Amino acid sequence: MGAHTAVARPPGPARPDPGGAPASGRPRRRRDDRRVAWLFLAPALVGFALFYAYPTVRGVYYSLTDYNLLAAPDFTGAENYRDLVSDEQFWNALKVTGYYVVVNIGSQTVLGLLLATLMHRLTRSVALRAMLLLPWLVPNVTVGLLWLWLLDTNLGFVNHLLNALGMGTTGFFSSPDWAMPSIAAVNTWAYTGYTALLLYAGMLQIPQHLYESASLDGAGEFRMFTRITLPLLRPVLALVLVVSMIGSFQIFDTIAVTTRGGPVGATRVIYYYIYEQAFTYFHMGYASAVAVMLALILGVLTAVQMRLLRASRSDLA
């Protein structure tokens, strides 16, 4: 990613084709590292086969069975998928997840962009960036508990604050209307600093002289943001957006320690629904079918991510 990546890289040109022809004029033995290559690859290949490939096949198979962990899976064909179409809880889970993703990604990206721009134009302080990163480094379980306490109806600091401002008390996690926005806000708190730093790293790639000359031409900060920063940041912004969306679709930990899907299903997101079906009710087959649906959604997003990745890296290694 631009000049900044060079920090961790030794000097010297990148060699895009490691298997290419040897340098001309220097005689070299034709190498075939077949045998030693297996040694290098053995752990990764075993890991891939056992914990990625095999479970993926198993997962698809489970989705076609009735399986409760105790007896062997019982093949039922497409029945789980037929059930899924008429399962209101499934559709509700999709709706609730979509709501969460929109609120969370929207607020997180706007705030992250604002913070990144301010840092980029004001300071290069590492200490500041480190502090903004702190919430991201903390387990989501801790974040969930911390905000469960801060937003507590009776004793929470936020409600004390709202009371002092004469705005009354809100049951942030207990009201069906408030629960989802509250969780989205909590995760926005946890991930905004991280998002900001990613965008900031992207901004560092924009040549500084563009700002210098714009400033000489009398452009204000806002104009520079809309005419220089935004357009040149677009590839990075798109990538960050897709990556955080993939993460956002998989929200689980925060909900598992705060609302546990309630009140009345208001926060029963797709990930939590799968977890509940699989490990509370032991409907492994049905849970796998729901997981297949989620995998399809995320697969599309990941495909977009890989395309963006290739596009933004084309001038590198």
Partner 1 sequence: MTQTQTQTRALTGAKGVARTRPRTRRAVSPGRVAAWVVLVVALVATVFPFYWMVRTALTPAADLYSDSTGLVPQHPTTINFLRVLGLTSQEEAMAAGGSGAQVDFLRYLLNSVVYSGLIAVLQTLCCAMAGYAFARLRFPGRDAVFGVLIAALMVPPIFTVMPNFVLVKNLDWLNTFAGMVAPSVLMTPFAIFFLRQFFLSIPREVEEAAVLDGVGAWGLFWRVVLPMSRGPLLTIGLTTTVWAWKDYLWPLLTGRDEETRVLTVALGIFQQQSPNTSPDWTGLMAGSTLSVLPVLVLLILLGRRLVESLNFTGVK
Which residues in the 102-161 window bind partner 1 by CB under 8 A? 111, 114-115, 118-119, 121-123, 126-135, 137-142, 145-147, 149-150, 152, 155, 157, 160
Residues 6+ apart with CB under 8 A from 194: 112, 133, 135, 136
* CB closer to partner 1, 232 vs 295: 295
CB 136 within 8 A of CB 190: yes
- Both structure tokens of 225: 């943001």
58 binds partner 1 (CB under 8 A): yes
Whether the link from the prior residue into 263 is cis, omega within 30° of 0, is: yes
Element housing 130 (H / E):
helix 126-137
- CB contact at 8 A, 258 and 147: yes
* Residue 160 CA: distances (Å) to CA of 119, 144, 152, 171, 174: 32, 19, 10, 12, 17
Closer residue to partner 1, CB minimum distance, 102 or 306: 306
Nearest-approach distance from CB 220 to partner 1, in angstroms: 8
Q: Per-residue x/- marks for partner 1, 184-213, CB under 8 A?
A: -----x--xxx--xx--x--x--xxx--x-
Tokens representing 302 are 């990941």
Of 4-12, 76-84, 87-95, 175-183, which part binds partner 1 (CB under 8 A)? 4-12
At a CB cut-off of 8 Å and minimum separation 6, what does 231 contact? Answer: none
* Residue 232 found at the interface with partner 1 (CB under 8 A): no
Min dist. Cβ of residue 215 to partner 1 (A): 5
Give the integer Cα–Cα distance in Å for 270 and 258. 16
User: Do 204 and 2 contact (CB within 8 A), yes or no?
Assistant: yes
For position 4 contacting partner 1 by CB under 8 A, the verdict is yes
Q: Which is nearer to partner 1, 114 or 232 (CB)?
A: 114
Q: Taking contact as CB under 8 A, which single stretch among the options 13-21, 78-86, 96-104, 175-183 is the one that binds partner 1?
A: 13-21
Please report how close the Cβ of residue 197 comes to partner 1 at its closest, in angstroms. 5
Site for partner 1 contains 46 (CB under 8 A)? yes
User: Should residue 264 be labelled a site residue for partner 1 when binding is judged by CB under 8 A?
Assistant: no
Q: Which of residues 282-301 bind partner 1 (CB under 8 A)?
A: 284, 287-288, 291-292, 294-295, 298-299
* 311 in contact with partner 1 (CB under 8 A): no
Cβ proximity to partner 1, 15 vs 88, nearer residue: 15
| Phi, psi for residue 95 in degrees, rounded to 5 | -65, -50
**Tell me, what amino acid is at 204?**
L
Does residue 100 belong to the site contacting partner 1 (CB under 8 A)?
Answer: no
Token pair, residue 172, equals 């942030």
Query: Is there binding between residue 215 and partner 1 (CB under 8 A)?
Result: yes
CA-to-CA separations, 20 to 16, 17, 40, 240, 313, in angstroms, rounded = 9, 5, 20, 34, 21
CB of 288 to partner 1, least distance (A): 6
Q: Which of residues 77-96 bind partner 1 (CB under 8 A)?
A: none
Q: Considering the rule CB under 8 A, would residue 253 count as an interface residue with partner 1?
A: yes
The pair of structure tokens assigned to 76 is 């039922």
| Two tokens, residue 208 | 């500084």
CB of 8 to partner 1, least distance (A): 4
